[in-house]
Amino acid sequence: MVNILLCCSAGMSTSLMVSKMQSNAEERGIEATIWAVPEAEAEANAEKADVILLGPQVRFLLDKIRAVAGGTPVDVIDMMAYGMMDAPKVLDQAIKLIGHE
């Protein structure tokens, strides 16, 4: 089981990415819990996550989120993958960050 937290500014487009990632994970036989929160709720959700991915629109928060995430890997979703809603690529990014290649 892998717990993937997506963090964004408001949550609309990221909610769509969550749905697509969840479907892709199921297709690939990956047990995953994937959810999105606005950046204001990132700290409260960080301890439940194995990896935290930021939407490109909040990339400026990378250092702040890393500071509250403890040892949890944090990265910014590739802008092209996000814009294209390329869920397999974003899921691969999350899995690679936690070393479950």
Q: How far is CA 2 from CA 13, 58, 61, 64, in A?
A: 22, 23, 23, 23
Residues with pLDDT less than 70, the chain: 11, 100-101
Report pLDDT for 100. 65
Q: In Å, what is the CA distance from 25 to each residue of 10, 19, 22, 30? A: 24, 10, 5, 5
Which residues belong to the active site? 8
d(CA 49, CA 39): 14
pLDDT tens string 66-90: 999 989 999 999 999 999 999 999 9
Residue 100, Cα to own-chain centre: how many angstroms? 15
CATH number among 3.30.1360.170, 3.80.10.10, 1.20.1260.10, 3.40.50.2300, domain 2-95: 3.40.50.2300
- The predicted pLDDT at position 10 comes to 77
Angle at 26 between CA 13 and CA 58, to 5 degrees: 25
